Amino acid sequence: MKTMETAFAQMVREHKNTIYTVCFMFSKDSDEVNDLFQEVLINLWKGYSSFEGKSKIDTWIWRVSFNTCISQERKKKRSATVPLSMEINLFEDKDNDTKQIKMLYDRIHRLKPFDRAIVLLWLESMSYEEIAAIVGISVKNVSVRLFRIKEELKQMSNN
């Protein structure tokens, strides 16, 4: 018979890529991503015993991860800090595809956290129904928001 700790550890092993995906939606900084990951694990553990299985486990994990990252983003905005970076990337590609992908992700990171999450879930090939279940809005609202987000991304400059 599995203990709750063993079952939780198994769940984390099976879904850690999902958790990291959500964390990367909210930060490019590896230290911050690791901090977010830890916060998500804490919140998953807190809610693990009360998970009733009314949704799929992966939908629940996406939702807890998403809500944790949104909360941390709000806290971060309240206590803004100046990041320290070397501004050098020895592995940076210079081809056009890489530049376009980088430009897209730079624009996505300028969106509000909620909109950023929606578009990144969509880029993960999730259905509107799955996105709605994760972020807690209607399927129609997902559709409307995605349309508006795409328009906002088109209007952004490359700055």
* CATH number for the domain that contains residue 29: 1.10.1740.10
Would you say the pTM of this structure is higher than 0.85? no
Q: What percent of the chain has pLDDT over 70?
A: 84
Q: What is the pLDDT of residues 58-73, one digit of tens each?
A: 889 998 998 898 888 8
- Whether residues 79 and 91 share a domain: the answer is no
Q: What is the pLDDT of residue 101?
A: 73
Residues 159 and 118 in one domain: yes
CA 126 – CA 105 distance, rounded (Å): 18
Among residues 52, 85, 118, which one ends one of the domains? 85
**Total of domains in the chain:** 2
Positions of E strands within the chain: none
Residues 139 and 110 in one domain: yes
Which residue stretches of the chain have pLDDT < 70?
1, 77-98, 158-159
Question: Are residue 1 and residue 79 in the same domain, yes or no?
Answer: yes
Residue with token string 């409307």: 144
On whether the CB atoms of residues 120 and 130 are closer than 8 A, the answer is: no
Q: Tell me which residue range forms the domain holding 147.
A: 86-159
pLDDT for res 80 = 54
pLDDT at residue 90, rounded to an integer: 46
Secondary structure string (H, E, C) spanning 64-98:
HHHHHHHHHHHHHHHCCCCCCCCCCCCCCCCCHHH
Over the range 123-134, which residues count as b (16 or more CB within 10 Å of their CB) and which as e? eeebebebbbbb
- Do residues 39 and 56 both lie within one domain? yes
pLDDT score for 125: 85
Q: Are residues 71 and 90 in the same domain?
A: no
pLDDT number for residue 92: 55
